[in-house]
Chain A
């Protein structure tokens, strides 16, 4: 690290965010001969270091002998000021070298509100923001992660995007960079490299596509340039057992959001909840074996000394061998004083057995997501959770000695009425009643039910991609309606600022024209937008006005069935026809079965991996 940074680091909060040097961080010698890659997480260290994907890709790349992968995170404003005031550059934590000196920089696009952090990090790293301004001597800037399925709003800033699982794809790209002699800056032919890269399945080179628009601002066509594929297919890893499992990776010194051993039970989700993007873009379901999961987690706990292990997936209780897995893991965890954490539990797949294994010693609270209050609304979103599932689960939880329950709901869902909103309050009250019906409840301890309400944001590649998002006024009205409907002190309610959801909605279904808005917002000082204390909606509003772009066009507009979407040239597996069928079923409040009980021919079986597929769907 530069002495200039070091001498001033005591003036910032949590300086350990900026020093690297953790156990498990990788420092390689002979750096001039290595391909230098910097994995950038566009939020602060505390968030980024909790991200499983970082650990995996950091491990994969550093396994490669001629590659050195480092990390960088968005600085907190005090550190940003330190860097700017002293003319210093954002650097890779391992070497302390400025981002501008790397051969390639990879950002993970986890959520739309991190987009300004990307620009800020590039700027602080001395890297030109626009891909068109970067020459062969600048680092290549690569995007990965879920938002790549519609990265159009940030298309101008990236040289390429990687769609799908990165464990094999990223090493292939890095190998291609080496083949093109990227380190020989004087002779590296960036255009030739990008055209070659575009031939690899899962690679999207935005500059190879031209978008034309209709007079009403909708998209007329997306045209691939010569040599680029018309559609970009998502890369997937078929066998999770054979897939590379990384070493524990850097073990943070400071307390980050999640500092624990973690691994995936499966990728994809069999459910098909209609609001959920992850449930659609990661299909098909691919499970990992019990033995492999145990091996990975136990190994990680041993090597990193973690006191907690977590099973990660979109719906842990849907794992086919969950009982067997919990039995094996909890045996080991108990005798080694490790806590077992099982997030993403479903209301309808809950048992006292699971409760016992995850409860540990402190019985504070359990969290579930019914998502909607009324049965009609839950049918519209295809949550497939009934009120009796809910009642049964509450009974198990309270009989297990818990006194707290956290329930997540969404408001602003398609076709929602005021009755659907007040039904949320009624469902929460039901939980309170169940608590007091339990004769064995802890005496003298009141129940506390927390209702967490988020604003629904329609996402690409979901059946609701055609749907209008509620306006700000409408959301505020519904929030007030809910608060007024909540009875008594036993139920508390927390909800998010609806302006962040509005912005998220614009970028989720946005197109390329939004790059200039993001640039303008960045110039106006917008950053760390996911942090309430830093989010400045008024600056965003002026950035939109200045760019002559209307947020409502992206948010509150119901799209016609035949509209060409900005993301139509991306192919995640699930077909647009299936999504439309699901949209129409939603409008009739009709549910669909999950993939294990009946194949809906969503299109994801083109990889031939679905166990219950009805028939092969042609790509």
Chain B
């Protein structure tokens, strides 16, 4: 049985890395005593798949972990057992049988909240939005390429309220073409006072038809 658990990673837990998350989930599965399929080989480990690993420093409402069990189990009970182990800010929200293949993931939505200490940011935000092009450097392990964020991102909404602005952006995601939301937030922060900080939360993962990844 291939189960897709959807969990959140909020507040201070944005500071634990993908590897830490993986380790924590393995411990949760072991402590919940679920009949998880182990990998073969010299050092058997629970075979887990995280569809779209989250960068350190980003929160999420919609992380997924695929787990294969050796026998069919009750999803509600499994969720409750895992949540008994997991910290408050990393709880499983729902579980279902995996539907979408992770290779169909094409987009992810993020809420980017920027705020500055005691400074109205509506003017610089307007300047930022008026830009025709937004060139950023995208780094991968092997190379650096310049891309124009304007051509690949979609700002779904934005609100400005004094010293705080909230953007909802949709960026390419997945194994083929992935854009890290930090590229957006750091481009934005360049227009804001030095005291400004950004917080990013992933809110949805979508396939190429913009249906939710489930």
B38 an interface residue at 8 Å Cβ cutoff? Answer: yes
From A23, A302, A303, A361, contact of B86 by CB (8 A): A23
25 pairs from A and B in contact (CB 8 Å cutoff): A1-B12, A7-B197, A10-B56, A10-B57, A16-B16, A18-B15, A19-B13, A21-B87, A21-B88, A22-B87, A23-B24, A23-B27, A253-B16, A253-B20, A254-B17, A255-B19, A255-B23, A302-B31, A304-B31, A305-B27, A305-B29, A305-B31, A307-B27, A337-B38, A337-B44
Query: Known contacts being A304-B31, A305-B31, is A253 close to B197, with CB within 8 Å?
Result: no
Closest residue of chain B to A8 (Cβ to Cβ) is B197
B43 surroundings in chain A (CB, below 8 A): 361-362
0/1 string, A504-533, CB within 8 A of B gives 1: 000000000000000000000000000000
From B23, B31, B44, B89, contact of A21 by CB (8 A): B89
What's the minimum C-beta distance from B59 to chain A, rounded to whole angstroms? 12
A307 surroundings in chain B (CB, below 8 A): 26-27, 30
Question: Is the contact region of chain B dominated by helix, strand, or loop, or is it mixed?
Answer: helix
A203 an interface residue at 8 Å Cβ cutoff? Answer: no
Closest residue of chain A to B44 (Cβ to Cβ) is A337
Inter-chain CA distance A23–B88, complex, in Å, is 9
Query: Known contacts being A22-B87, A305-B31, is A9 close to B26, with CB within 8 Å?
Result: no
B20 surroundings in chain A (CB, below 8 A): 16, 253-255
0/1 string, B54-88, CB within 8 A of A gives 1: 00110000000000000000000000000001111
Closest residue of chain A to B36 (Cβ to Cβ) is A337
Inter-chain CA distance A22–B28, complex, in Å, is 12
Inter-chain CA distance A255–B20, complex, in Å, is 8
Inter-chain CA distance A334–B88, complex, in Å, is 32
B42 surroundings in chain A (CB, below 8 A): 361-362
User: Contact: A305 with B38, CB < 8 Å?
Assistant: no
Inter-chain CA distance A503–B98, complex, in Å, is 60
Inter-chain CA distance A6–B86, complex, in Å, is 21
What's the minimum C-beta distance from B13 to chain A, rounded to whole angstroms? 7
Inter-chain CA distance A6–B197, complex, in Å, is 10
Interface size on B, residues (CB 8 A): 28
Central interface residue in B15, B30, B89, by most chain A CB within 10 Å: B15
B208 an interface residue at 8 Å Cβ cutoff? Answer: no
User: Contact: A9 with B31, CB < 8 Å?
Assistant: no
A21 surroundings in chain B (CB, below 8 A): 12-13, 87-89
| Extra contacts besides A19-B12, A19-B13, A254-B20 (15): CB < 8 Å | A16-B20, A23-B28, A251-B24, A253-B16, A253-B24, A255-B23, A304-B27, A304-B31, A305-B26, A305-B27, A305-B28, A306-B27, A307-B27, A337-B44, A362-B43
A446 an interface residue at 8 Å Cβ cutoff? Answer: no
From A254, A302, A303, A305, contact of B16 by CB (8 A): A254
Inter-chain CA distance A20–B19, complex, in Å, is 17
A15 an interface residue at 8 Å Cβ cutoff? Answer: yes
0/1 string, A215-256, CB within 8 A of B gives 1: 000000000000000000000000000000000000101110
Inter-chain CA distance A16–B14, complex, in Å, is 9
Closest residue of chain A to B25 (Cβ to Cβ) is A305
What's the minimum C-beta distance from B27 to chain A, rounded to whole angstroms? 3
Inter-chain CA distance A222–B170, complex, in Å, is 73
B16 surroundings in chain A (CB, below 8 A): 16, 19, 253-254
B33 an interface residue at 8 Å Cβ cutoff? Answer: yes
Inter-chain CA distance A16–B65, complex, in Å, is 21
What's the minimum C-beta distance from B201 to chain A, rounded to whole angstroms? 14
User: Contact: B30 with A305, CB < 8 Å?
Assistant: yes
B86 surroundings in chain A (CB, below 8 A): 23
Closest residue of chain A to B15 (Cβ to Cβ) is A15
What's the minimum C-beta distance from A87 to chain B, rounded to whole angstroms? 15
Inter-chain CA distance A430–B190, complex, in Å, is 66
Closest residue of chain A to B195 (Cβ to Cβ) is A7
What's the minimum C-beta distance from B20 to chain A, rounded to whole angstroms? 4
Closest residue of chain A to B28 (Cβ to Cβ) is A305
Inter-chain CA distance A195–B28, complex, in Å, is 48
A10 surroundings in chain B (CB, below 8 A): 15, 56-57
Inter-chain CA distance A19–B29, complex, in Å, is 23
What's the minimum C-beta distance from B163 to chain A, rounded to whole angstroms? 14
Inter-chain CA distance A102–B23, complex, in Å, is 33
Inter-chain CA distance A20–B15, complex, in Å, is 11
Inter-chain CA distance A20–B16, complex, in Å, is 11
4 closest Cβ contacts across the A-B interface?
Answer: A305-B27, A305-B30, A305-B31, A15-B15
Inter-chain CA distance A301–B85, complex, in Å, is 13
Inter-chain CA distance A131–B181, complex, in Å, is 50
Query: Known contacts being A21-B12, A21-B87, is A251 close to B27, with CB within 8 Å?
Result: yes
Inter-chain CA distance A325–B24, complex, in Å, is 29
Inter-chain CA distance A241–B196, complex, in Å, is 56
A305 surroundings in chain B (CB, below 8 A): 26-31, 85
Closest residue of chain B to A3 (Cβ to Cβ) is B197
- Give residues 464-520 of A contacting B (CB, 8 Å): none
Inter-chain CA distance A305–B86, complex, in Å, is 11
What's the minimum C-beta distance from A8 to chain B, rounded to whole angstroms? 8
B88 surroundings in chain A (CB, below 8 A): 21
A254 surroundings in chain B (CB, below 8 A): 16-17, 20
Closest residue of chain B to A19 (Cβ to Cβ) is B12
Inter-chain CA distance A255–B21, complex, in Å, is 11
A22 surroundings in chain B (CB, below 8 A): 87
B44 surroundings in chain A (CB, below 8 A): 337
What's the minimum C-beta distance from A7 to chain B, rounded to whole angstroms? 5
Query: Known contacts being A23-B86, A254-B20, A305-B85, is A16 close to B29, with CB within 8 Å?
Result: no
Inter-chain CA distance A19–B30, complex, in Å, is 24
User: Contact: B31 with A16, CB < 8 Å?
Assistant: no
Inter-chain CA distance A21–B56, complex, in Å, is 16
User: Contact: A19 with B26, CB < 8 Å?
Assistant: no
